[in-house]
Amino acid sequence: MKHLLSEGRIGSLTTRNRIVMAAMHLGYAEDGYVTERFVRYYEECAKGEAGLLFLGGFKMHRLGGGGIGFLSIEDDKYIPSMKKMNARLHSHGAKTAAQLFHGGRYAFSFMMDGEQPVSASAIPSKLTRETPRALSIPEIHETIEHFAAAARRAREADFDAVEVMGSTGYLIAQFLSPVSNTRDDEYGGSLENRARFGIEVIRTVKRACGNDYPVVVRHSGAELMDGGNTIEESVKIAKLFEEAGADAISIQVGWHESRVPTVAASVPRGAFVFLARFMRPHLSVPVVTCNRINDPLLAEQILADGSADFIAMARALNADPYFAKKVREGRFDEIIPCTGCNEGCLDTIFGGQPSTCMNNPTRGRENELALVKSANPRKIMLVGGGPGGLEAARVLAQRGHRVTLFEKSKRLGGRLALSAIPPGREEFGNTVRYLDSAARRAGVEIICGIEMTPEKARKEKPDVLVLATGGITRIPNVPGIDNDKVILADEALTGGKPLGRKVVVIGAGGVACEVAIFVAREGRITPETALFLIENNVLPAERTLDLAHKGPHQVTLVRRGSKVGDSLGRSTRWLTLQELKNLGVRTITDARYVRVTDEGLLISLDGQQQMLEADTIIIAAGYEADPRLKERWAGAAPEIHILGDAHIPQKGIDAIYEATILGRKI
């Protein structure tokens, strides 16, 4: 780890290592002010030895905010609280930078007292579904001065640097791209003209703060927008920004409107590092790379092979603020993994709720979820080794209780382990492995392969019994559902039953969509085979890629409801629907199941019956709590708690949060 843990330099700024935390909107601010909740969140990252913390974004003007609970730096009144915050973060050895933010057409009018958003041109935003008005030239000059004033305040508040947000489709990016800039004045047309706004922002910020004050520019290495700047043009823009005074270029990828995933679990680790590698030889200032880098070995390799100078991690440090410290101490297996699920950090924000993390529910709750030793250690038995059971067991053991966990199968993780089976979901297996190892390190005795029963539990005489046995598969009441060709989603994922060519999946929630994608890809050729076929001209590249993309199965997804993937989060649902479409999965909604026959599934659609021919029918209609669970376990212990899906079916983030709360209460 000699590269990752070595000192880094950005202009006059020296960092203790090459790990930086990219800015994240957390939703913790109140009236634009930093709060104790915000400070405690980043204080953990500072204690965890991150080198540089990019905080924000900070809005500089009322027309440029970015969401509920957004930070502000538009007035001097915000300086004192920011200064106090920086003193605390600096005391732990971290350096800080304020991200200067203007949302442009990504700002919502309802959050600006109904005022129309502004942009380079009056081109509608697919994100907000609103049409901005084009800034006049005097307004452009005024906005540039807002950046400068914000930078001055940042320096007065003892930030060590500022970051100019110029990527991801925000205001500067809107000027840069022909997608959103159709101006015919000096701020539109040629690449140099489109870059003029960003260049003038950088120059004005440098004049306001002095040439010795580091300015980092966040820049899209690839817009991933039809008609947008090419990668080569992005390099030219980065060079112009360097010439204007940028002390480092932080390479991001995509816009929020892009139809290419950039941070989802299905994105391979380090998939976009090539952008930094491509750009770095053209620049003399440090290059920061990011997006789906959550592994220290990968981060070290990126630096070692010269692809970048710094590694930016947002969600990896959201999951584990002590990432850098654990790397330095060689405790790799103790790092809380980021799975790329987006449930706690993006879906919450899109829903107007503050950010947290599925794998680390203490994020954003550092004070309220502080761990306190139990004054009365007890003998506790947990039944069920899913994520909720493992998390509750860990917390209880860390508080001093004597904890034993029983899992009837030989595999821990419950439904979360099954979620790791479909392509692009492998990261969820890391969550299971972490929860397992963390519970064992805490002193939990884990016994797999033995089914605990109420009778056995009574003999063990625990003081407290926690039932985390999971939900049961919801079986539709359909004649013929017991046909031999009908299998459960779990059996399809684990390979317990062979799959025929024609497959019908009953259900279209999150589980059903995962299963449909899994089946559609089952039987595809491996990447190694594809490369062999292409290199040896056995098949045309396009045909080979098709064979590597999907298998031989014909998949139909059918449900009674009207919406496919309705239980999925906003940040990933669009991607799932896109995958289903690309894989040729047929989706049918508003159907009535008539009966299962040897031919397939007979349904009624708009009053007309039709047969969905099927060799295999998979039930993936979701899960439900066992209504007899409480009665069956009554009297097995003096105190009984029911946790997770056994109580009510829920997402992983909810199960783990419920478990960490219960673990602190007992």
* Residue ranges of E strands in 60-119: 71-72, 95-101, 118-119
CB neighbours of residue 651 within 10 Å: 17
Q: Please report which helix (H) or strand (E) contains residue 444, including its range.
A: none
Q: Name the pLDDT band for 647 (thresholds 50, 70, 90).
A: confident
Distance CA 564, CA 559 (A): 8
List the beta bridge partners of residue 71: 58
Whole-Å CA distances, 109 to 65, 117, 120, 132, 258: 10, 6, 17, 9, 22
Taking only the tens place, the pLDDT of each residue in 499-551 is: 999 999 999 899 999 999 999 999 999 999 999 999 999 999 999 999 999 99
Q: What does the domain layout of the chain look like in residue ranges? A: 8-350, 379-471+627-665, 486-624
Handedness of CA 358, 363, 367, 373 (dihedral sign): positive
| pLDDT of 64 | 87
Mean pLDDT along residues 591-616: 96
pTM: 0.94
Joined tokens for residue 417 = 């382990």
Taking only the tens place, the pLDDT of each residue in 177-211 is: 999 999 999 999 999 999 999 999 999 999 999 99
CA trace torsion 595, 598, 599, 601 (10° rounding): 30
Give 284's DSSP letter: S
Distance CA 187, CA 140 (A): 9
pLDDT at 158 over 90: yes
Percent of the chain with pLDDT over 70: 100
Distance CA 187, CA 111 (A): 27
Joined tokens for residue 213 = 């004050």
Give 305's DSSP letter: T
Q: Name the pLDDT band for 111 (thresholds 50, 70, 90).
A: confident
| pLDDT of 496 | 79
pLDDT, mean over the chain = 96
| pLDDT of 625 | 93
| pLDDT of 229 | 96
Locus of tokens 């970015």: 66
List the beta bridge partners of residue 611: 602
| pLDDT of 446 | 98
CB neighbours of residue 665 within 10 Å: 9
Taking only the tens place, the pLDDT of each residue in 228-265 is: 999 999 999 999 999 999 999 999 999 999 999 999 99
List the beta bridge partners of residue 593: 603
- CATH architecture assigned to 379-471+627-665: 3-Layer(aba) Sandwich (3.40)
Taking only the tens place, the pLDDT of each residue in 462-475 is: 999 999 999 999 99
Domain 8-350 fold: TIM Barrel (3.20.20)
Distance CA 129, CA 530 (A): 41
Question: Residues with Cβ < 8 Å from 500, sequence gap 6 or more?
Answer: 485, 553, 614, 615, 616
Mean pLDDT along residues 43-48: 99
| pLDDT of 422 | 87
pLDDT at 66 over 90: no
pLDDT at 480 over 80: yes
| pLDDT of 76 | 98
Taking only the tens place, the pLDDT of each residue in 354-388 is: 999 999 999 999 999 999 999 999 999 999 999 99
Locus of tokens 């139809």: 259
Mean pLDDT along residues 126-141: 95
pLDDT at 658 over 90: yes
Joined tokens for residue 483 = 């046909």
- CATH architecture assigned to 486-624: 3-Layer(bba) Sandwich (3.50)
Q: Name the pLDDT band for 627 (thresholds 50, 70, 90).
A: very high
Strand order from edge to edge, sheet including 608-613: 592-596, 600-605, 608-613
Residue type at 265? A
Distance CA 579, CA 519 (A): 12
Q: Name the pLDDT band for 495 (thresholds 50, 70, 90).
A: confident
| 659 φ/ψ sector (left φ>0, alpha ψ -120 to 50, else beta) | alpha
